[in-house]
Amino acid sequence: MAAGCRHSIALTTAGDVYAWGFGGRTGGVFKYLPFLQSESSVGLGDNKGDVLVPEVVESLKEKVKQIAAGSDVSLALGQSGKVYGWGSGLCSLGAEPSSKPVELDDINFFLDSHHAHVKKMKSTGKNAVFLLDDGRLYVIGKNNGGAFATRENPRIVTDNSVIGLTKIVDTDLKGQKIVKFKLSDNSLIFLTDSGEVYYSGFHSKFRPERFPVKPGTVKTIFATHDSVGVVDKSGRIGFLNDQILSNSEKKGNVFLSREDKLNNVLKIGGAYQLRYAVVDAKNW
């Protein structure tokens, strides 16, 4: 499942997409005026109104293997490898806003011409981040807080909006491939095949910065509003920029949980100003 700003979408094991939430029609007595309406991120067509019960997005041309949701935009990766999108946020992804799924031609052309395939995709805000099968990370859309890590020179601001798929600045990786990434509304963190962790964002880090952790010690990574972090293999949580645990101590510029028995933590997240943890109840 993926949660956007005013809507949510879910993917079934059969490859069908269900959606619910804001259906593209504004409220109030003027809700039928065309200029007050916006394209729906639910993907069920115009003037749908609020969708309170999940409905299948029938106009998708094929079965889907992956989904993502951002601010007024939904994305779907078809079994063929094509990327589809819908919602008013498509205007930031090089496409016309639509209330029904459309093929994202510019993105798909890039993938075809580079003989590349999407391994993982995420969206927060009016943007999208794609991890390709070559281990490289590409971004497009609104770059909130510098999370895109695309700024060659921190004094030259040219990447507040990224038009067309653009590779992050990865020269410091020295050939390492990215195997996993997490994205919040203003931060990005990723793990390489050498076990190193890098991050960007917070309106201060505009290109990848090494996360101060020993290579090979990280079990999982997470990105939340104004912070990024890791859970290491001993079960300790380390995070940067925003102290999210009361039971923690600071070492350098990293906060570490004092508790070393958190091996039951399966996932930490919260792309916006809300955080959550998924734990293994059997070991709680």
Q: Where are the alpha helices (DSSP H) in the chain?
A: 105-113
Q: Is 48 helix (H, G, I), strand (E, B) or coil?
A: coil
Q: Mean pLDDT for the chain?
A: 85
CB of 174 closer than 8 Å to CB of 157: no
pLDDT at residue 48, rounded to an integer: 67
Q: Is 229 helix (H, G, I), strand (E, B) or coil?
A: strand
**Which residue ranges of the chain lie beneath pLDDT 50?**
35
| Total-model pTM | 0.88
pLDDT at residue 278, rounded to an integer: 78
- Residues 68-85 have pLDDT tens digits of 998 889 999 999 999 999
pLDDT at residue 256, rounded to an integer: 62
The candidate with the shortest Cα–Cα distance to 183, out of 238, 127, 133, is 127
Residue 109 token pair:
């052309």
Close Cβ partners of 134 (under 8 Å, ≥ 6 residues apart): 116, 177
